[in-house]
């Protein structure tokens, strides 16, 4: 899916299976561009076991059709818009695992999953 916000184009979707794909996570991405130049990436990593152990989140994920619970998707979507508004172009990750939901700088993570 592609959408526009304040002159930026945002491409989003499930991460394709490649050499960095981790089978124990659902991975979703937002790629923010302006004039075909990538400005930043915002990723969601949702640990499958953690999602499946929370019945309400598992149900949310089934309803969205993209395996990411709606509440987590909405938070990431809002953060992408905030980052554009603030011209904060650092690559970020919203990770959901047994420790909860945490936002991290993607470029500071040693084991990238993007």
Q: For residues 55 and 73, is the Cβ–Cβ distance under 8 A?
A: no
Query: Is residue 54 predicted with pLDDT exceeding 80?
Result: yes
As a whole number of angstroms, the distance between CA 8 and CA 41 comes to 13
What mean pLDDT, rounded, does the chain reach? 87
Domain boundaries, the chain: 1-13+46-114
pLDDT digits 0-9 by tens, 71-84? 899 999 999 999 99
Between the alpha carbon of residue 61 and those of residues 34, 53, 65, 106, 109, the distances in Å are 30, 12, 7, 24, 26
Q: How far apart are CA 114 and CA 103, in angstroms?
A: 15
pLDDT for res 68: 85
pLDDT digits (tens, 9 = 90+) for 25-52: 888 999 999 999 999 999 999 898 988 8
What integer pLDDT is reported at residue 113 of this predicted model?
47
Structure tokens at 66: 């993209």
pLDDT on residue 18: 59
């Amino acid at each position: 899916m592609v959408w526009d916000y304040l002159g930026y184009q945002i491409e989003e979707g499930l991460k394709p299976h490649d050499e960095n794909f981790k089978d124990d996570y659902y991975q979703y991405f937002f790629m923010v561009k302006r004039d075909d130049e990538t400005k930043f990436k915002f990723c969601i990593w949702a640990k499958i076991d953690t999602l499946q152990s929370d019945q309400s989140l598992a149900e949310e994920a089934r309803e969205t059709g993209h395996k990411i619970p709606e509440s987590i998707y909405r938070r990431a979507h809002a953060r992408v818009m905030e980052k554009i508004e603030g011209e904060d172009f650092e690559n970020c990750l919203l990770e959901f695992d047994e420790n909860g939901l945490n936002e991290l700088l993607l470029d500071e993570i040693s084991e990238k999953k993007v």
